[in-house]
Structure 1
Amino acid sequence: MNNNILRHSGSAALLLLFTFALAIGQEFRGSITGKVTDPNGAVVPGATVTVKNIETNLEATAATNDEGSYDFPVLLPGKYELLVTKQGFKVEARQQIQLRVAEKLTIDVQLQTGSIAETVTVVSSATLETGSVSTGTTIERRQIAELPLSEGTAYQLATLAPGVAYTGNPQFTAPISNGNLAAFRVNGAPAQNQITLDGSPNYAFDFAVGFSPPADAVQEFKVQTNVFDAQQGYSAGGTVNVAVRSGTNDLHGSIYYFNRDRSRTSNNFFSNRSGQARPIRTYHRFGGVLSGPVHIPKAYNGRDKTFFLFSYERLLDNTAEPQLFSVPPAAMRNGDFSALITDRTNVTNSTHTIIYNPFT
C-alpha cells in the first residue's frame, strides 16, 4: 500500500512539474486567422483553407465555421502560402506570406464567383499584425547575418529596438558573457528582462541569459517592449523571444572561423593611460551549422516530413580585463589615516572621512 501511495505521489509530482513547465513557457510560434466572404461580403462557411510552409512543404488544413472564420493557431516562423477553395468559386491563393516570431496575422479573403479550376493569385506584401496589441521590434534573419556582431551573439542586436538602452560592458559580449547579454533596459524600467528560447525560459543566475545559440542557428527574434498579453509581463522589463532555425527540404550548411589576436587588437584606454603595454590575447571562435531533411538510406526519407539542424561553436578566448581599484597608500597601511582629514581648522567639515572606534 505504501508503494502505491509513493507511486501515485510521484506521478502527481511529475504531472505538476509538466503543467508548471507549460505554464511558464512563452509562445514563439505565430498564427494566421481570417474570414472568407463572397463578392457581396457575405460569409462563406465550409470553405477549405490550406496553409503550406514554402521551405518544408508542411501543410495544415482547416474549414471555415458558420461565421466564415478560419484559424491556424500554431505555425513556425517562416514563409507561407494560403489557399482557399469552395465549390462555385475560383481558388484564391495568397503567396509569400511572411510569418515572424509570435506574430498574429489576420488575412481576410474575398472569393470570386467562377470555376474551381480557375485560380486568383495574390502575392502578399507586408501584412499588418492586428491580432495582438503588443508593441516591439522583430530582428530578422538578414539583419543577424549581415550586421556586425563583435562576438557572434545575436542578442547584441536587441538594442536596435526603440526604447532599448544597453547597460552592460561592451567589451564582453561573447556567448559566455551571460550577464552582459541581458544587460539592457526597456523604456527606462529598472527591472529584469524576460529571455526565452523557442518559447522556453532561458535564464542563468540572476536573470542572465542561460544559453546563447550561434548567430547562424538563429532564425529571428522579437523584442517586445510594451503592452504584453497574459502569457508575458511578469517582469517590468522587456521580452526577448528567440526562434532557432529549422531544417528544410534543402541541405544547407556553413562553417566559420574568427581570429582576433594581439596584432589586430588595440590597447585598452586605461592601459594606455597607465603606460602599460598591450596584453597578450588569444582569440579563436569557430563552428558550423548543418540543416536539412532527415534521410536514412534505404530506411527513411524525411523530405516534407522530418528535418534536423545541427549547430556547433567553440570559443578559445584569453582576454585581459583592466580594472581600476582604490587601494590604501603605504601610510594608511602603517596606521596613519591623517590624509582623510581635508580641513584641519574645521573638525565639523562634511568632507572629512571619520573613522570611529567600534569599541567606544
Structure 2
Amino acid sequence: MKKILLAFLPIVLLTTTLSANVDTTARIKGTVNVSGATVEAVHTPTNTTKSVVSSASGNFNINFLPIGGPYIIKVSRAGYETQTINVESLTVANPIKLSVNLISDNIDEVQVIASKVSSSKVNSGSVLSSERIAQIPTITRNIADYLKFDPRVSINGANARNSEISVLGKNSRLNDFTIDGVSFNDAFGLNDNGFATMKNPISIDFVDEITVDITPYDVSKGNATGGTITAVSKSGTNEFHGSVYTTSRDKGNVGDLPNGEEYSDFQEDALAITLSGPIIKDKLFFFLGYEESEDVRPSLMGYIRLKCYK
C-alpha cells in the first residue's frame, strides 16, 4: 500500500495596514470636486483607518487596503459638509471608483450607498469571496472545484491529485498560481494540476478570496499565457473566530466501475482547524490554520522479483 501524509501549518501574523504585494490588496480611487479634501477609509471589522488628501485636480488613490469589508469612506474639508460612503466589500480584481461632490456646510451630513460593482474594471476576471466559497458544495475540497464556476475554466480529472485547471483551453502549466503574491507553480513539471504540491498548496479554509484573471492588462500580473489565479489568505479581526472540520472517504462512497468491477481500495481522511482574532485591538491580528490530509491507495509502482533459469 502507498501512504501519502500531507500536513501544513501556515501561521499568518498581520497588521492590516501592511501588504507584501499589490495583487493581494484592494484599492479605492476617484475624484472630489475640491482639492485638499481628506479621504478616509475605515475597515469596519478591524477598525483600521487609512487616509489620503485629494490632489489639485481632485484625484485620490487609497492603495493596499484589506480585502472584504464593509468599509466606511469619509470625505471632508474645512467649510464643507462631510460625505459618508458605505462600501459593502472590496476585492482584489475590482477597484472601486468614486465621484464625490462636497457641498457647503449649511445642511446635515449626506450618506451615499456605493455599489460594490466597480466601474473601473479593465479585465475579464472573476472573484470568489470567502462567503461565496462557503456556499459551494465540494467533495474533494480542491481549489479546482471552485474555479469551475467560471465558464472559461474547465477541469480535467476526477480527484484532487490529478485535477488539471485549464483556462481558455490552455495547458494547466501555462497558468500562474500565487498565494499572497508568492508563486506556487510546478516549475519542474511533475504534477498534472500545475501546482507545486500534489494536493492543494493551501487549505480552502485559509482562503479569503480567489481571483481568476483572463488576459489581465495590469502590468503587475504576468508569467502566464493561460490564467492568473490569485489566492489571498485570511487574517484576523477584532473578534475571535474559529472552525473545525473533518472528512473521510473510502470505496464505499463510490459506485462500481463501468465494467462491473469494484472500485479499488482507498481511504481519504482530512482534518482542519482555524483560529483568528486580535493581539492588540485595532492594530495587530493573527490567523492560525492547520490541515492534515491522509490518502491511502494501492501502489501503482513497485518491484517484481524474478528468478531466471537456464
Any residues of structure 2 matched to 1:23-38 within 5 Å, and which? 27-37=23-33
Question: Is 1:285 aligned with 2:276?
Answer: no
Distance 1:34-1:104 versus aligned 2 partners, 3 A rule? same
Larger Rg: 1
Higher strand share goes to which structure?
A: 2
Query: Gapped runs of 5+ residues in structure 2?
Result: 1-19, 302-310
Corresponding residue for residue 11 of structure 2: none
Find the partner of 1:91 among 82, 93, 99: 82
**TM-superposed deviation, 1:321:** 8.4
Any residues of structure 2 matched to 1:236-251 within 5 Å, and which? 236-251=225-240
Deviates more, 1:25-34 or 1:310-319: 25-34
Find the partner of 1:307 among 274, 285, 307: 285
* 3-state DSSP of counterpart to 1:59: strand
**TM-superposed deviation, 1:138:** 0.6
Distance 1:319-1:143 versus aligned 2 partners, 3 A rule? farther
**TM-superposed deviation, 1:292:** 0.6
Distance 1:186-1:281 versus aligned 2 partners, 3 A rule? closer
Q: Structure 1, residues 272-309: CA drift from partner, whole Å, max 9, x if none?
A: x1x54343332211111111101xxxxxxx11000111
In 2: Cα distance, 1:93 partner to 1:290 partner? 33
Corresponding residue for residue 5 of structure 2: none
Find the partner of 1:57 among 37, 42, 47: 47
Any residues of structure 2 matched to 1:1-360 within 5 Å, and which? 27-37=23-33, 44-79=34-69, 80-115=71-106, 118-130=108-120, 132-167=121-156, 169-170=157-158, 172-173=159-160, 177=161, 180-181=162-163, 183-190=164-171, 192-204=174-186, 205-206=188-189, 208-210=194-196, 212-269=201-258, 273=259, 276-294=261-279, 302-320=280-298
State whether residues 255 and 262 of structure 2, in contact with CA within 8 Å, keep that contact through their aligned partners in structure 1: no
Distance 1:217-1:186 versus aligned 2 partners, 3 A rule? same
1:74 alignment partner AA: F
In 2: Cα distance, 1:304 partner to 1:97 partner? 20
In 1: Cα distance, 2:289 partner to 2:95 partner? 29
In 1: Cα distance, 2:151 partner to 2:262 partner? 39
**TM-superposed deviation, 1:257:** 1.0
Scaled by the length of structure 1, the TM-score of the pair is 0.70
Scaled by the length of structure 2, the TM-score of the pair is 0.80
Aligned length: 273
**TM-superposed deviation, 1:25:** 6.2
Provide the aligned C-alpha RMSD in A: 2.4
Moved over 4 A (4+): 320-323
Answer 1 or 2: higher relative contact order, Cα 8 Å, separation at least 6. 2
Deviates more, 1:192-201 or 1:93-102: 93-102
Q: Structure 1, residues 35-93: CA drift from partner, whole Å, max 9, x if none?
A: 111xxxxxx11111100111111001111111111111221211121001112221101
* 3-state DSSP of counterpart to 1:66: coil
In 2: Cα distance, 1:253 partner to 1:197 partner? 21
Query: Gapped runs of 5+ residues in structure 1?
Result: 1-23, 38-43, 295-301, 324-360
1:197 alignment partner AA: I
Distance 1:284-1:94 versus aligned 2 partners, 3 A rule? same
